[in-house]
Amino acid sequence: MSRLTLPVGKRDHIQGDAKAPVTLVEYGDYECPHCGHAYPIIKRVQQRMGNRLSFVFRNFPLNEIHPNAEHAAEAAESAGANGGEEAFWEMHDLIFENQKSLGGPTLGRLASEAGVDADAVLTDLSTQRFRDRVREDFMSGVRSGVNGTPTFFINGVRYNGPYEEADLVAELEETLLHSA
């Protein structure tokens, strides 16, 4: 049973109450079609679980098969740095909602839609300002046994079941029962 080697902490992007009894961590790739499938499911799971769940997204770009994934991850990190945590999540959502066209011009437009200075994001991309941050997420995933996307951890333990809404909610509810 794989465990997170890097515990959830201040460096992470967290949606929901950081002190929620259940934390769902996703290692994801913005260009991965499976992550694109999981994106609306996670949104629904968050709604169903409410304040009992915190959600963390960590970058795991699979560059060999998704050539725009790392730039998309860096753009999301840049949005967060330039506009705050809310801007990170807005950019995260916009990237997944525009997953099929993630070239540089699209990322600049999405940054503007997220309320962030597009020029700042594009400058960060050209200087690879957030490359190390993305690599840190990636390497923490490798050390935690991640070898594909999406990969989920529930309260630090790898979840290997299906990631359809009913399955995830059942597992999260089960974790709640055992953590009480």
Cα–Cα nearest to 170, from 2, 26, 48: 48
- Residue 133's domain comprises 13-179
129 is a domain residue:
yes
5 is a domain residue:
no
The predicted pLDDT at position 179 comes to 78
The predicted pLDDT at position 157 comes to 96
Which CATH number covers residue 106?
A: 3.40.30.10
103 is a domain residue:
yes
pLDDT category, 93, cuts 50, 70, 90? Answer: very high
Number of domains observed in the structure of the chain: 1
Asked if pLDDT for residue 104 goes beyond 90, the answer is no
4 is a domain residue:
no
pLDDT category, 43, cuts 50, 70, 90? Answer: very high
75 is a domain residue:
yes
111 is a domain residue:
yes
pLDDT tens digits, 114-158: 999 999 999 999 999 999 999 999 999 999 999 999 999 999 999
